[in-house]
């Protein structure tokens, strides 16, 4: 009887950063069966295995696909439309009026373009909060990416009840969709846009549907002060007193925190999505990342939307995360390269609720793998792979992207999407939106 194993995809002669630890496996190999990593290490693929497809990984580094813990993908539509403004003026006068005019098709192409950009910069999973989420799900399905999707809910809006109903339907229809690549959550926007009664309803629904919550928390000092004034508690303690952290939570930003807040985030296992570039651009402040990590809080990285960044590259986000903490603490040892890498991979997986599935290259994990081309002048000599990825690699060095065992990009060519067509459609949508706007 023939007992030889079938390998759907083998990557050979590749240096591997597994993110299980800092060690690099030199000239290793990875064997993928279906959507999973079956073999990883030195000469681990059985010699009689039947290899269906093979990639030569020479001069490349394989690592887990990057995980963007907080974004609003379709906001690519507004990239470069309104810059250099304070957060509330930016939202009230520029972004929200345009968002009120969004149509389903705009969100579809906005998200597809975001997927193109994310794949080309090595991101394989993203956590999104937006509107028209069935369009977002369609884009995720087509692109081949993995995503954690939540419909944004503004509790003070007149349609808040309907939006929560719509969220329920979305969760029921899409949780586990796209061969399990889509996970659904609920997305109450923030404590300052969602009153306590509304948040309590959301928490109840999350419990019934057994899904997580994705919310902005303590992004600006004005939010911190407003919540303190209204409820006599910090945003973190206000949400905790409502019972929100009993539900698996992605808390985006967490810039303004007391020491007690940090203890609550650690104790309740809240996943924090740190967005250094957005926080810098909107001058929201510097999140106490080093302190949070040392206190045992799970911190992942996010780009936030392309309108407040203005890039969706997680490679840039890692770099800014490390540099910002160093200069903030006046300490070059704060957030070293490997810590920044963890925030974009293994710790990010915990933040978005996919721990044990993605974020690490190990047997039994999903085959979400990127190959970075190290045969580039700006990457020689190869002293320290981790430092290079955080401080020297650019998005354009990402050569190959594999998600759920499928090759999504090879030699920088996207295999699931027509890049030019998506860009043209997005450009048309964005121009129409601005043209019809009265603002
Ligand atoms: Ni955001």
DSSP secondary structure, 49-82, as one string: -EES-EEE-TTEEEEEPEEEEEE-GGGGGGTTTS
What pLDDT does residue 320 have? 98
Per-residue pLDDT band for 436 (boundaries 50, 70, 90) equals low
For the chain, how many residues are written? 439
CA of 417 to the centre of ligand 1 (A): 26
Spacing, Cα 152 to ligand 1 middle (Å)? 10
- Ligand 1 center to 212 CA (angstroms): 17
151 CA → ligand 1 middle, Å:
12
Q: How far is the CA of 129 from the centre of ligand 1 (A)?
A: 8
CA 273–ligand 1 middle distance (angstroms): 10
How far does the centroid of ligand 1 lie from the alpha carbon of residue 266, in Å?
A: 21
Antiparallel, parallel or unpaired: β 413-414 and 406-410: antiparallel
pLDDT in tens, 339-396: 999 999 999 999 999 999 999 999 999 999 999 999 999 999 999 999 999 999 999 9
DSSP assignment letter at 24 = E
| Chain segment 144-186, per-residue pLDDT in tens | 999 999 999 999 999 999 999 999 999 999 999 999 999 999 9
The percentage of the chain sitting over the pLDDT mark of 90, rounded to a whole number, equals 95
Q: Is 364 helix (H, G, I), strand (E, B) or coil?
A: coil
278 CA to centre of ligand 1 in angstroms? 9
User: In the chain, what are the domain boundaries?
Assistant: 6-64+359-414, 66-351
What is the 202 CA–ligand 1 centroid distance (Å)? 18
Question: Residue 216: pLDDT above 60?
Answer: yes
Alpha-carbon span 234 to 225, nearest angstrom: 8
Average pLDDT of the segment spanning 280-302: 96
Q: What is the pLDDT of residues 401-426, one digit of tens each?
A: 999 999 999 999 999 999 999 999 99
- Rg (C-alpha) for the chain, rounded Å, is 21
Calculate how far, in angstroms, residue 314's C-alpha sits from the geometric centre of ligand 1. 15
Evaluate the omega torsion of the peptide bond into residue 381 and state whether it is cis, within 30 degrees of 0. Answer: yes
For residue 118, report the distance from its CA to the centre of ligand 1, in Å. Answer: 17
Tell me the pTM. 0.97
Query: Among 385, 397, 405, which Cα is nearest to 21's?
Result: 385
CA nearest neighbour of 274 among 295, 294, 258, 290: 290
Torsion on CA atoms 379, 120, 211, 289, rounded to nearest 10: 30
Q: Average per-residue pLDDT in the chain?
A: 96
Residue 251 alpha carbon to ligand 1 centre in Å? 10
Ligand 1 centre distance from Cα of residue 264 (Å): 22
Q: 6-64+359-414: CATH homologous superfamily?
A: Urease, subunit C, domain 1 (2.30.40.10)
CA pair distance 171, 206, nearest whole angstrom: 10
Q: Which range has the worst mean pLDDT, 82-96, 112-126, 303-317, 401-415?
A: 82-96
The larger pLDDT score, comparing residue 208 to residue 85, is at 208
- Cα of 304 from ligand 1 centre, angstroms: 5
Distance, CA 101 to ligand 1 centroid (Å)? 19
Domain spanning 66-351: CATH superfamily: Metal-dependent hydrolases (3.20.20.140)
Distance 70 CA to ligand 1 centre (A): 6
Asked if residue 402 lies in contact with residue 369, where contact means CB atoms within 8 angstroms, the answer is yes
| pLDDT at 437 exceeding the cut of 80 | no
Q: Residue 90: pLDDT above 90?
A: no
Residue 141 in this model has a pLDDT that exceeds 50: yes
What is the average per-residue pLDDT within 193-205? Answer: 98
CA of 344 to the centre of ligand 1 (A): 17
pLDDT at 439: 43
**For residue 215, how far is its CA from the centre of ligand 1 (angstroms)?**
8
């Amino acid at each position: 009887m023939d007992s030889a194993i079938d390998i759907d995809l083998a990557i050979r002669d590749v240096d591997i950063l597994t993110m299980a630890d800092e060690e690099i496996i030199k000239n290793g190999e990875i064997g993928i069966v279906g959507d999973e990593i079956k073999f990883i290490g030195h000469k681990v693929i059985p010699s009689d295995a039947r290899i269906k497809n093979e990639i030569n990984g020479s001069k490349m580094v394989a690592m887990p696909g990057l995980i963007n813990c907080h974004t609003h993908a379709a906001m690519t539509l507004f990239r470069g439309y309104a810059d250099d403004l304070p957060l509330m003026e930016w939202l009230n006068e520029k972004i929200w009026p345009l968002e009120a005019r969004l149509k389903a098709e705009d969100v579809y192409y906005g998200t597809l373009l975001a997927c193109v950009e994310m794949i080309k910069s090595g991101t394989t999973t993203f956590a999104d909060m937006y509107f028209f989420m069935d369009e977002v799900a369609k884009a995720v399905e087509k692109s081949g990416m993995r995503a954690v999707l939540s419909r944004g809910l503004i509790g003070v809006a007149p349609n808040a009840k309907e939006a929560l109903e719509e969220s329920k339907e979305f969760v029921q229809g899409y949780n586990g969709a796209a061969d399990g690549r889509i996970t659904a959550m609920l997305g109450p926007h923030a404590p300052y846009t969602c009153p306590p009664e509304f948040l309590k309803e959301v928490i109840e629904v999350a419990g019934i549907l057994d899904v997580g919550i994705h919310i902005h928390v303590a992004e600006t000092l004005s939010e911190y002060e407003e919540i303190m004034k209204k409820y006599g508690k910090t945003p973190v303690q206000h949400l905790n007193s409502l019972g929100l952290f009993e539900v698996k939570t992605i808390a985006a930003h967490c810039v303004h925190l007391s020491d007690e807040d940090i203890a609550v985030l650690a104790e309740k296992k809240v996943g924090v999505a740190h967005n250094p570039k957005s926080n810098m651009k909107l001058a929201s402040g510097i999140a106490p990342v080093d302190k949070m990590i040392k206190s045992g809080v799970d911190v992942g990285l996010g780009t936030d939307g392309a309108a407040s960044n203005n890039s969706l590259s997680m490679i840039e986000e890692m770099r800014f995360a490390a540099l910002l903490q160093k200069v903030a603490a006046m300490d070059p040892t704060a957030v070293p390269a490997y810590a920044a890498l963890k925030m974009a991979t293994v710790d990010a997986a915990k933040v978005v609720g996919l721990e044990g599935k993605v974020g690490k290259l190990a047997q039994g994990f999903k085959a979400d793998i990127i190959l970075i081309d190290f045969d580039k002048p700006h990457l020689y000599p190869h002293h320290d792979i981790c430092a290079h990825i955080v401080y020297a690699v650019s998005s354009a060095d990402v050569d190959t992207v594999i998600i759920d065992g499928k090759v999504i990009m090879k030699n920088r060519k996207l295999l699931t999407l027509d890049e030019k067509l998506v860009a043209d459609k997005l450009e048309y949508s964005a121009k129409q939106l601005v043209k019809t706007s009265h603002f």
